[in-house]
Amino acid sequence: MRAVLSLAMSTLITLSGMAASVPVIAASMQPSPATATSDVSFKASDGVVIHGRYYRAASPRALIVLFHQAGSSKDEYKTIAPKLAAAGYSALAIDQRSGGELFGPNQTVQALGHSADYLDAKPDLEAALSFARQQKLPIILWGSSYSASLTVVVASEHVNEVSAIAVFSPGEYFDASPSMIRSAAAKVTVPFYVTSANDAREIAAAKAILAASPSKLKVQYVPTTGGVHGSSTLIASRDPQGAEDNWKAILGFLDRLHL
């Protein structure tokens, strides 16, 4: 059953380790007109074709795999991914099967003819991780809202394949298991960045999830001004007061990884 999600966002907390492995899934890449970007597609374990966009940094330090929030698509990252690439991180943004047109068309949902439940999107994240492994770069998983929670689960199951995770507005969004994300976080030993809306419930949820992790590098960022739900907090048009400080926080965390 779906949880109702809000719009909002994330102070500094502590300090984690590294790790990261998965079966490789065949991928196709179609060059796009935009410089250093390619449209990509690959199959999830159940045969669903996942569509995405790959942003190449000139000399990448790592590959950041970007997962969107509810009702959204890879275009949630159309302004975020280029900034990550400029900072030295290649990025892969995908259209999960649970999504919509909040920021732009979701090709995976369009092909299916409907949006699936949140948990049904887990194979999409795993397929993206398999694609990322083929790029032979350190991998950072990044999730927004419901996919932030799924990112923690996937990272817990593929610890030796992931170098770090960054999650924006995670929560216990899955009614079938009210402590699923905290239980998964207890297995995440890699560097762990978490942020949320400047909202008491979101801050508390993020804190509880991060506290469960045994990581040695754990950071919780809570914005003092602005702040919106999910990765949207990095988009100036969505979070005009807080986007700049949120960028400083996440880029500061990435620098501490020394990749």
- CB atoms closer than 10 angstroms to residue 46: 10
The Cα 252–Cα 193 span in angstroms is 10
Q: Cα 180–186–187 angle (5° rounding)? A: 100
Please report which confidence band the pLDDT of residue 3 belongs to, taking 50, 70 and 90 as the band edges.
very low
Tokens for 60, please give them. 């990448």
Cα dihedral: 50, 56, 62, 63 (round 10): -10
The Cα 10–Cα 141 span in angstroms is 18
Q: What is the mean pLDDT of the chain?
A: 88
Q: Give the position of tokens 């924006």.
A: 168
Identify whether 18 is part of a domain: no
Predicted TM-score (pTM) of this structure: 0.87
Identify whether 7 is part of a domain: no
Mean pLDDT of 119-138: 97
- CB atoms closer than 10 angstroms to residue 14: 14
SS3 content of the chain, % helix, strand, coil (to 5): 35, 20, 50
Identify whether 157 is part of a domain: yes
Identify whether 77 is part of a domain: yes
Tokens for 96, please give them. 């999960």
H helices within the chain, ranges in order?
80-86, 107-112, 122-133, 146-157, 180-185, 200-212, 243-255
Look up the domain containing 97 and give its range: 27-255
Tokens for 238, please give them. 């969505």
pLDDT for 82 equals 96
User: What's the number of domains the chain is made of?
Assistant: 1
Tell me which of 28-37, 153-162, 250-259 is least confident.
28-37
State pLDDT tens for residues 9-61.
333 343 323 323 233 333 444 433 444 899 999 999 999 999 999 999 999 99
The Cα 155–Cα 47 span in angstroms is 22
Closest-CA residue to 223 (of 7, 9, 8): 9
Identify whether 133 is part of a domain: yes
Identify whether 230 is part of a domain: yes
Please report which confidence band the pLDDT of residue 105 belongs to, taking 50, 70 and 90 as the band edges.
very high
DSSP state of 3: P
Mean pLDDT of 162-177: 93
b/e burial code for range 165-194 (CB count within 10 A of at least 16 → b): bbbbbbbbbbeeeeebbbebbbebbbbbbb
Q: Give the position of tokens 């739900």.
A: 229
Identify whether 3 is part of a domain: no
Counting every residue written for the chain, the total comes to 259
Mean pLDDT of 173-202: 94
pLDDT for 118 equals 96
Q: Give the position of tokens 């350190």.
A: 138
State pLDDT tens for residues 136-149.
999 999 999 999 99
Mean pLDDT of 194-209: 96
Looking at residue 251, which CATH number applies to its domain? 3.40.50.1820
Identify whether 71 is part of a domain: yes
pLDDT for 193 equals 98
What is the CA 36 to chain-centroid distance, rounded? 21
Q: Cα 206–91–120 angle (5° rounding)? A: 55
